[in-house]
């Protein structure tokens, strides 16, 4: 099936281990060039907007589908790319709809945010995506329906201390910025534990002056805080005293496109597993802008690992996802949903 061949082509970009199509690099550009070629082969009219989002349209483009092609360094084969190749295949089979390939999803859905701010929005949006978690594998279900997408707040905290010689300044009376930061890291963990279904992560620590024999004078830590609804997200952010550099609100998926996907699962005798998305997606941006949106998750294997070369979905699950996405697209474009 050409979907698998196209996934392999995208995965080979950048060379080395894993997917290497970081936003703004040649790797992302080459991936967009490949996708544009596949769109033209499918008979779509291709255009690129002001921020580089790639759009392929039929003459009747009211229902859109798609995802992103940028990756984290040494990322997985399916994250983003699966939703793009499945979208192109589905639109070609149905002969109606549009495919959107958004720029720079990994660093904050930059392309989709620019898209919803600057253009005419679609009537409906579908995104197929690898689950990036273990729920479907544990449920022995090849596909699932994302019923909501988590809200995300990212920011930094800075801690000030006083530099000094690591060997000559006595421990009593030291003002070590890294010690204060370490206490905050534990606070991040404990705050998330106290709020149901919330998570929070410190993923980056920058220590100044950064020498092994100097007491840290200044430390910056990054915080990624997530929760399934606004009330819990606000509680977490307040507890962490975090000023947001980036915020994406939690959003529910819409009934009409969800029901179209559900009908396709039922028609094939597949289990209907409903689950939240703990990761952010371009679909959340469109849903937040008022576009009726739904996500189809494809089972992750290997315990749900993602953003890693070990990311995996079975070929037969990918094939099923293309069939279900195609069927749902047809229902929505023909008005038979």
- Strand segments, DSSP code E, in 49-189 are 54-57, 63-68, 98-102, 124-130, 143-149, 151-160
Model confidence at 330, pLDDT cuts 50, 70, 90, reads: very high
Per-residue pLDDT at 325? 98
Claim to verify: residue 138 and residue 262 sit in the same structural domain: yes
Instruction: Give the total number of structural domains in the chain.
Output: 2
Least confident of 10-19, 121-130, 152-161: 10-19
Claim to verify: residue 236 and residue 270 sit in the same structural domain: no
Per-residue pLDDT at 137? 97
Claim to verify: residue 132 and residue 205 sit in the same structural domain: no
Claim to verify: residue 171 and residue 271 sit in the same structural domain: no
Please give the mean pLDDT across all residues of the chain: 96
Write the CATH number for 177: 3.30.70.360
Helical H runs in 13-167? 26-41, 81-94, 110-118, 135-138
Claim to verify: residue 191 and residue 320 sit in the same structural domain: no
- Asked if residue 80 has pLDDT above 90, the reply is yes
Rounded mean pLDDT of 126-135? 97
Rounded mean pLDDT of 247-254? 92
Write the CATH number for 301: 3.40.630.10
Model confidence at 179, pLDDT cuts 50, 70, 90, reads: very high
Per-residue pLDDT at 298? 98
DSSP 8-33: HHHHHTT-SSSB---TTSHHHHHHHH
**Separate counts of helices (H) and strands (E) for the chain:** 10, 14
- Asked if residue 240 has pLDDT above 90, the reply is yes
* End residue of a domain, out of 220, 248, 276: 248
Per-residue pLDDT at 59? 94
Rounded mean pLDDT of 154-174? 97
Claim to verify: residue 268 and residue 136 sit in the same structural domain: yes
Q: pTM here? A: 0.87
Per-residue pLDDT at 215? 98
- Asked if residue 251 has pLDDT above 80, the reply is yes
Per-residue pLDDT at 37? 98
* End residue of a domain, out of 227, 248, 269: 248
Per-residue pLDDT at 152? 93
Per-residue pLDDT at 301? 96
């Amino acid at each position: 099936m050409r979907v698998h061949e196209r996934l392999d082509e995208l995965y080979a970009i950048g060379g080395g281990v894993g997917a290497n199509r970081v936003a703004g690099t040649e790797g992302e550009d080459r991936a967009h060039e490949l996708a544009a070629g596949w769109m033209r082969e499918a008979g779509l009219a291709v255009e690129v907007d002001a921020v580089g989002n790639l759009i392929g349209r039929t003459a009747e483009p009211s229902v859109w589908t798609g995802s992103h092609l940028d990756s984290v360094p040494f990322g997985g084969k399916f994250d983003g790319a699966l939703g793009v190749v499945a979208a192109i295949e589905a639109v070609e089979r149905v002969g109606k709809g549009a495919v959107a390939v958004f720029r720079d999803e990994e660093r904050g859905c930059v392309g989709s945010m620019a898209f919803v701010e600057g253009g005419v929005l679609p009537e409906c949006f579908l995104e197929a995506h690898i689950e990036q978690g273990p729920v479907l594998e544990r449920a022995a279900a090849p596909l699932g329906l994302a019923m909501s997408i988590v809200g995300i707040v990212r920011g930094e905290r800075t801690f000030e201390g006083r530099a000094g010689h690591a060997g000559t300044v006595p421990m009593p009376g030291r003002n070590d910025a890294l010690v204060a930061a370490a206490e905050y890291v534990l606070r991040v963990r404990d705050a998330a534990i106290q709020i149901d279904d919330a998570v929070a992560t410190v993923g980056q620590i920058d220590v100044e002056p950064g020498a092994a024999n100097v007491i840290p004078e200044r430390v910056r830590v990054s915080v990624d805080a997530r929760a399934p609804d606004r009330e819990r997200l606000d509680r977490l952010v307040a507890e962490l005293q975090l000023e947001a550099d980036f915020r994406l609100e939690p959003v529910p998926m819409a009934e009409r496109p969800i029901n179209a996907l559900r009908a396709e699962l039922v028609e094939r005798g597949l289990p209907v597993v409903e689950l939240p998305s703990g990761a952010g997606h371009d679909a959340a941006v469109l849903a937040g802008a008022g576009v009726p949106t739904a996500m189809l998750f494809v089972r992750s294997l290997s315990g749900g690992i993602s953003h890693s070369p070990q990311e995996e979905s079975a070929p037969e699950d990918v094939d099923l996802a293309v069939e279900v996405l195609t069927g749902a697209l047809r229902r929505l474009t023909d008005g038979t949903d």
